[in-house]
Structure 1
Amino acid sequence: MHNFDVIVVGGGASGFFTAINLAEQSPDLRIAILERGKEVLSKVKISGGGRCNVTHACFVPNVLTKFYPRGERELKGPFHTFCTGDVMQWFEDRGVVLKIEDDGRVFPETDSSQTIIDCFLSEATSYDIKIIIQTIVQSIQKTDDFWSLATSKETFRCKQLVVATGSNTKIWDLLQTIGHSIIKPVPSLFTFNIKDDRIKDLMGVSAEMVTVKVKDTNLKATGPLLITHWGMSGPAILRLSAWGARELFDKNYQFQLIVNWTNDYVFDEVLEELMQNKQEHPRKTIFKYPQYNLTHRLWQQLVKAADISETMTWADVSKKYLVKLAEQLTQGAFDVNGKSTFKEEFVTAGGIDLKEVNFKTMESKLHNNLYFTGEILNIDAITGGFNFQNAWTTGFLAANAIAAKY
């Protein structure tokens, strides 16, 4: 039997952040991190295309919460305690220089996730945090004042237990045995599979600003859209997939996507502008003059879809065909048939029911001395560094709460 004051289950971003911040405040505590894999911080390594998107340069807590389809209400208080600016300061204080990119994402200046991993490992070493790998937790029990963890190696015992295992369903199952409720996990952040002649040969083409909606629902998102060889991706689609995670799961990922390629122009406005082109550019060939910042290739596919021939000029075209073109531009319907995972950044909506957690301390409301941090909770965000921010903030709060007990 191995005894520790604090055991953190899960050697990922949130687990390390919790352990390091706790050790800093209470250096005398014996702290261990248990990790089931061969190496720690593996998700940090691949995140942001191997660059590690540490956080997002959104510094207002109430605005920041808007990026979380699940967890928006609960994270308000925590973000007022420890927000993006605090995270950036934390890394800078430890010699990791960060940079903010144009889209607000924050990366290490080295553009390498290894910089973040090295920082964590050196902090853990300096505080003598024990890192125990290839150790699978098989049961969690509370006896007297101690937590007892039977693992694939041996039994560990601790006074304070932090569970930071992300969307590990086996750990969720174990937590149900001690009374916690799990919101069933479904995928979030995925791209849409669409076979459609309008986008068939346009792989790699993007539109700067579109609005996408799921037909017959309230689901709607705005942003850039990228056409891929399997369908559609890009920020607008990923946002829609995050907010619609449950609803789209219930539809078995079969639905109609309505795309407004002009972003926020409505049908009538677009039709009026197209009619104006008849007066202003009668001799120009419609096919050759893209509108609404669309690329030539995308514009041409939409023109074809409106049954307008390649040689037709604005003067030649009748209103009937311009109506069709305005429909293609503002309310093109695409059949979605399935989804694909977005890069390696697999995110799930689901996890520990947020009603069972105290968000001032991240402690379980059902058991004293049991804490949850990061994605094990039913919290998830859109892409852009927000999921890591949840990991840092909840880890920081748990560390503070445990340190206050000693």
Structure 2
Amino acid sequence: MKKTIAVIGGGAAGFFGAIAAAETYPQARVVLFEKGRNVLSKVRISGGGRCNVTNAAATVADLLKGYPRGAKFLKSLFPRFSNQHTIEWFEKRGVKLKTEADGRIFPTTDSSETIVRCLQQQAQQAGVELQLSTPIRQIRPVATGFELVGMDETLFTVDRVLVTTGGHPQLTGYQWLSELGLSILSPVPSLFTFNIPDSFTRELPGLSVSDTLVRLAGSKLQQEGPVLLTHWGLSGPAVLKLSAWAARELAETNYQFTSLVNWTNEKPEAARTSLEAFKKLNAGKFVATVAPFGIPNRLWRALLVENEIKDQVRWVDLNGKLFNRLLENLTNGTFQVQGKTTFKEEFVTCGGIALNQLHPQTLESKVIPGLYFAGEVLDIDGITGGYNFQAAWTTGWIAGQSIGQGL
């Protein structure tokens, strides 16, 4: 009788784990259980349907900077399977990849179906068996391995189990795992945009400001980068990165907090010097006609309205009080955030299986031998830019390579 390795969850980590297990342990039967009728649904919608496979970070140290939670754990895993290994893995299997200016890596087809087909083909070639529409509601450790209990009470007897069921917005989504005695860190959303119902920026949807500094008032948390103005508030890389790094703090405020935006991304004193020099250079011009710091014209005019500076005011006439108020709004714009919005369809959670519960070399549970974990079910999450998929590929590959040892 062949030994059976079960993989629960047909997402990125599940497929990668199943393929790695089937290729490493051809003597075993690998069965992938997916609760839905379709697999790899998150891969399909990611990156606007293009699939941001990974990030082009040049070193492991650079790659680790993309993980608000889990970086210390991943530090020992990335040398074994990093973003460079991911690139090689897909290209070796016929998927050509390209790197964009911001470091995101996509298939040259700009279609996530390229990645989906590759994973499905590799799983099929490796002999992975797919069980679709088969949700597993319970894992029972038994003397010979495990019993998996389906929703209709169907029992599946297996020898090893890899759980790759992804993140869940509610703690109840992890109850079937906590029943096994595993520690779960309560899930909260990560990677979201800021809803600001009373902001003047809502009149400027689609406008992007390339170099800003966004801060969380009352804390040291801040992020640099582009900000996108939307009809509901603020989005873009700087906001999304801040939402990830501040995920737990912002959850505690029930998403009612103050965000500070420095549109110049210069320290206030440096910005003052720059603005004074700009004023001198453009003394005879109307303030409304020339914008400093490379600020888009539409945003600049909106900032002038907010600061009650009329169109006919010339730079030379911008007096101390008006000048100081404008400088304050440029370097320390205050926005009252009231709620959040999920970034596109990319739902990411902070929380999950506590990493100190796992053997870092194998991703096997310290509590229950033979039970492994990979992907977003773990308390690992990354910022936008391919980091979450990279964590899925890395943990899936290492768990899959380890799961058949001793069978």
How much has 1:19 moved relative to structure 2?
Answer: 0.8
Correspondence for 1:271: 272
Correspondence for 1:358: 359
How much has 1:4 moved relative to structure 2?
Answer: 5.4
How much has 1:349 moved relative to structure 2?
Answer: 0.4
* Counterpart pick for 1:183 among 148, 164, 185: 185
2:109 corresponds to 1:79: no
Q: Secondary structure at the match of 2:120?
A: helix
Q: Are residues 171 and 29 of structure 1, via their aligned partners in 2, closer, same or farther at CA, if it must alter by over 3 Å?
A: farther
2:35 corresponds to 1:36: yes
How much has 1:170 moved relative to structure 2?
Answer: 5.6
CA offsets 1:250-279 (integer angstroms, 9 cap, x no match): 01111111110001x222332333333443
CA distance in 1, matches of 2:151, 2:172: 13
How much has 1:66 moved relative to structure 2?
Answer: 1.3
8 Å CA contact 1:160–1:369 kept in 2: the answer is yes
Q: Secondary structure at the match of 1:22?
A: helix
Q: Are residues 275 and 170 of structure 1, via their aligned partners in 2, closer, same or farther at CA, if it must alter by over 3 Å?
A: closer
CA offsets 1:237-261 (integer angstroms, 9 cap, x no match): 0000000000000011111111100
8 Å CA contact 1:4–1:32 kept in 2: the answer is no
Letter aligned with residue 175 of structure 1:
L
CA offsets 1:79-101 (integer angstroms, 9 cap, x no match): 01110111111111111111111
Correspondence for 1:22: 21
CA offsets 1:272-292 (integer angstroms, 9 cap, x no match): 333334433221001110111
Q: Secondary structure at the match of 2:156?
A: strand
8 Å CA contact 1:275–1:322 kept in 2: the answer is no
What is the correspondence of 1:97-136 to structure 2 with a 5 Å cutoff? 97-136=96-135
TM-score (norm 2): 0.96
CA distance in 2, matches of 1:360, 1:39: 31
CA distance in 2, matches of 1:162, 1:214: 38
CA distance in 2, matches of 1:332, 1:144: 62
Segments of 5+ residues of structure 2 without an aligned counterpart are none
Q: Secondary structure at the match of 1:199?
A: helix
2:244 corresponds to 1:242: yes
Correspondence for 1:93: 92
How much has 1:394 moved relative to structure 2?
Answer: 0.5
Q: Secondary structure at the match of 1:255?
A: strand
Correspondence for 2:160: 160
Letter aligned with residue 362 of structure 2:
T
What is the correspondence of 1:6-405 to structure 2 with a 5 Å cutoff? 6-153=5-152, 154-168=154-168, 172-263=174-265, 265-405=266-406
Q: Secondary structure at the match of 2:295?
A: coil
Number of aligned residue pairs: 404
How much has 1:390 moved relative to structure 2?
Answer: 0.4
8 Å CA contact 2:214–2:223 kept in 1: the answer is yes
TM-score (norm 1): 0.96
Letter aligned with residue 216 of structure 1:
G
CA offsets 1:340-397 (integer angstroms, 9 cap, x no match): 0100000010100111011110100111110000000011000111000000101111
Q: Secondary structure at the match of 2:20?
A: helix
CA distance in 1, matches of 2:26, 2:58: 30
CA distance in 2, matches of 1:229, 1:375: 30
CA distance in 2, matches of 1:275, 1:138: 65
How much has 1:171 moved relative to structure 2?
Answer: 5.6
8 Å CA contact 2:256–2:338 kept in 1: the answer is yes
CA distance in 2, matches of 1:77, 1:315: 59
Q: Report runs of 4+ in structure 1 exceeding 6 Å deviation.
A: none
8 Å CA contact 1:35–1:132 kept in 2: the answer is yes
8 Å CA contact 2:211–2:225 kept in 1: the answer is yes
Q: Secondary structure at the match of 1:67?
A: coil
Letter aligned with residue 104 of structure 1:
G
Q: Secondary structure at the match of 1:126?
A: helix
Q: Secondary structure at the match of 1:102?
A: coil
CA distance in 1, matches of 2:3, 2:136: 15
Q: Are residues 65 and 197 of structure 1, via their aligned partners in 2, closer, same or farther at CA, if it must alter by over 3 Å?
A: closer
CA distance in 2, matches of 1:150, 1:3: 20
How much has 1:335 moved relative to structure 2?
Answer: 0.6
CA distance in 1, matches of 2:65, 2:315: 44
CA distance in 1, matches of 2:387, 2:251: 22
8 Å CA contact 1:8–1:32 kept in 2: the answer is yes
How much has 1:232 moved relative to structure 2?
Answer: 0.2
Letter aligned with residue 162 of structure 2:
V
Letter aligned with residue 237 of structure 2:
P
